[in-house]
Structure 1
Amino acid sequence: MKPVTALRWINAPLEQVFQTVADISTYANAVPHIVRVEFLTDQRFGVGTRFRETRVMNGKEASTGLEVMELVDNEHIRLVSDAGGTVWDSTFRVKSDGQHTELRLTMEIRPYRLLAKWLIPLIRKTVIQGVENDMDCVKRFCEQRSEMS
């Protein structure tokens, strides 16, 4: 299945944008429909961090467990979730042109159960809309914080 990708140019320093997506608590503050984060490990940052994120989707709360699989400071963070018979493998990458920061999200969606293989193509458009909304929230959050600095 073709990955879902989203790109935003953000008027904020690269370090700030990276910290927003790499620090789970900050990301939850940036994305208003994330209503709760519960850490499942003692560590709260970096490779091996596991957490449960609860979001409001279509008026209902839905929780997903995620794990930080890769993190290179000010370059990328990779988060993986296994839910509903599907592996959701998301990587945020940042780079700067000196004035703006490019934030790119690539989400690989790998269904492995029969129902998921049937369902994922049907909900792909909704997933894309959700990813785009999250990216807009991160952009707004970073730019507002940058203006305040």
Structure 2
Amino acid sequence: MKPIIASRTIDAPLSLVFQTVSDVRNFRKAVPHITNVEFLSEQQHGVGTRFRETRMMKGREQSVELEVAEFADNERVRMVSDAGGTVWDTLFTVSLVGDAVELKMQMDIRPHAFLARLMIPLIRGMVVKGVESDMDAVKSYCESGGEPCGAIDETTGS
């Protein structure tokens, strides 16, 4: 299935943009329809972090479990979920473009259940709208000087 790709040019420091997309606590601050984040691992930052994100979708709360599968500070973060018979593999990358930051997101969608193979093409438009909304929210948050959570202590992960 064709990946969903979105990008935004953001007038904010690269570290702020990266911290916003790579730390779910900051992502929750940026994206208003995320209503709750529950950590499922002791680790709360970097590879191996597992969490449940709850957000409002079409007037109802929906939860999904994700795991940070790849992390390169101020470069890229990959989050993966296996939900509804589908692997949702999302990669955020940040890079400097002149005085701004280019934030790119690529979501690979791999249905592995029969029903998911039928449903994904039907809900793709809704997923694209959600991705675009999240990217707009991150751009607005970062350009308004959003405050990330405190510095991460690499020894404790919090």
TM-score, length basis structure 1: 0.97
1:45-103 deviations in whole A, cap 9, x for unaligned? 00000000000000100000000000000000000000000000000000002400000
- 1:53 counterpart residue number: 53
- 2:108 counterpart residue number: 108
- 1:40 counterpart residue number: 40
- 1:125 counterpart residue number: 125
Structure 2 counterparts to residues 1-149 of structure 1, below 5 A: 1-145=1-145
State the distance in 2 between where 1:123 and 1:54 align.
18
State the distance in 2 between where 1:16 and 1:31 align.
15
State the distance in 2 between where 1:96 and 1:120 align.
34
Unaligned runs of 5+ in 1: none
SS state at 1:42 partner: coil
SS state at 1:134 partner: helix
State the distance in 1 between where 2:113 and 2:23 align.
31
How many residue pairs get matched?
A: 146
State the distance in 1 between where 2:12 and 2:56 align.
27
- 2:153 counterpart residue number: none
Q: Following TM superposition, by how much is the alpha carbon of 1:133 offset from its aligned partner in structure 2, in angstroms?
A: 0.3
Which residue identity lines up with residue 13 of structure 1 in the other structure? P
SS state at 1:69 partner: strand
State the distance in 2 between where 1:98 and 1:51 align.
34
SS state at 2:92 partner: strand
Q: Following TM superposition, by how much is the alpha carbon of 1:23 offset from its aligned partner in structure 2, in angstroms?
A: 1.1
SS state at 2:48 partner: coil
- The list of structure 1 runs, each at least 4 consecutive aligned residues, that deviate by more than 3 angstroms after superposition, is none
State the distance in 2 between where 1:127 and 1:137 align.
15
Which residue identity lines up with residue 108 of structure 2 in the other structure? E
TM-score, length basis structure 2: 0.91
Unaligned runs of 5+ in 2: 147-158
SS state at 2:124 partner: helix
State the distance in 1 between where 2:51 and 2:97 align.
32
